[in-house]
Amino acid sequence: MSFKANGIIAAMITPLTDTLQVNEKGLRRLVNYLIDGGVHGLFVVGTSGEFYGFSPEQRKEAFQICIDEARGRVPVYAGVNGITTKEAVEYAQMAEEVKADAISVLTPMFVSVTQGELYNHYASIASSTNLPMLLYNNVGKTNVNIAVETATKLSEISNIVGIKDSSGDFTLTSEYIRNTRENKDQFSVLSGRDTLIHACLAYGGHGAITACANIAPRLMADIYDKYVAGDIEGSLEAQYKIAPIRMAFSLGSYPTILKESLELLGIDAGPCFAPVGPMNQENKVVLKNILADAGLLA
């Protein structure tokens, strides 16, 4: 498969109305803010996009709006997460129907599965679609880890084109890279931890799927663009600059900081699905100062 997953892919929030419907105007504005900021791809209705709160119809609507507004300028990766294989297959086929460029599939959550069952899960989803597919490892959220051996075996399936690793365990990320390096032209390893993007690139990775790109797309893109251009110091400096923003995620329940930040930047992001609520006023002031220090606010 010729599709290549690389660069900075924004793990988009999903703007919502006060009645918790997809805010089309806000979503279209966010798509353009991110593309104008230099990101290399868009990841819609993933973890940052609160996939768990959407009906199938709302998920499809978000896919369609994002794909329509992107207009082929960058690839759109559709989140097709589900607990069961059947559910993920249905979402994968939905993504193909609306002409997404690729899909991303989080490990099952709540259920405990063996590595053999996990392999069969991903292989079944891959066989159900012609779209390029990313594995998504986020053990902190799902309590299911994709073992290096499982990822390596899955990388041999033609339309499984990469893995996003949000574990924060750089040894695990580096082992994904080392064990798939003979297939590096077809299989990409992407950091899912915003503070480890430069390290991932230095070790042979291919970029990142990043939540901080919602807030600072140009700064995030600089980590990758400067690295591939040979400006290693510039890439590292951009990585340093993003660290305080990533550390600010602890100021509220996820992904409220992303939505609160976008509101400060003039993009209507709306509320999060309850039980996640807004940040308290004290933490909003802290966040505003962090964004100002990063040069994102006047």
As a whole number, the mean pLDDT across the chain is: 97
CA neighbor of 160 nearest in space, from 191, 118, 129: 129
**Tokens standing for residue 174:** 């580096």
Q: Report the C-alpha gap between 153 and 134 in whole angstroms.
A: 14
Domain boundaries, the chain: 7-241
pLDDT at 9: 98
Q: Cα dihedral angle (65, 259, 249, 104), rounded to 10 degrees? A: -10
pLDDT of residue 147 exceeding 90, the answer is yes
pLDDT at 94: 98
Mean pLDDT to the nearest integer, 157-162 = 97
Rounded Cα gap, residues 288 and 90, in angstroms: 41
4 vs 229: CA distance, rounded Å: 18
Query: What pLDDT does residue 181 have?
Result: 95
Partners of 105 in beta bridges: 135
Give me the pLDDT at residue 266, please.
94
Catalytic residue among 60, 77, 122, 164: 164
| Mean pLDDT, residues 175-199 taken together | 96
Q: Which of 33, 91, 119, 136 is catalytic?
A: 136
Position 13 pLDDT exceeds 90? yes
Specify whether 136 is catalytic.
yes
User: What burial class does residue 123 get, using C-beta atoms within 10 Å of its C-beta: 0-12 exposed, 13-18 middle, 19+ buried?
Assistant: middle
Predicted pLDDT of residue 236: 98
Q: Which CATH superfamily is domain 7-241 in?
A: Aldolase class I (3.20.20.70)
* Average pLDDT for 253-270: 96
Span 57-61, average pLDDT: 98
Catalytic (active site) residue 164: yes
Q: What percent of the chain has pLDDT over 90?
A: 98
pLDDT in tens, 264-277: 999 999 999 999 99
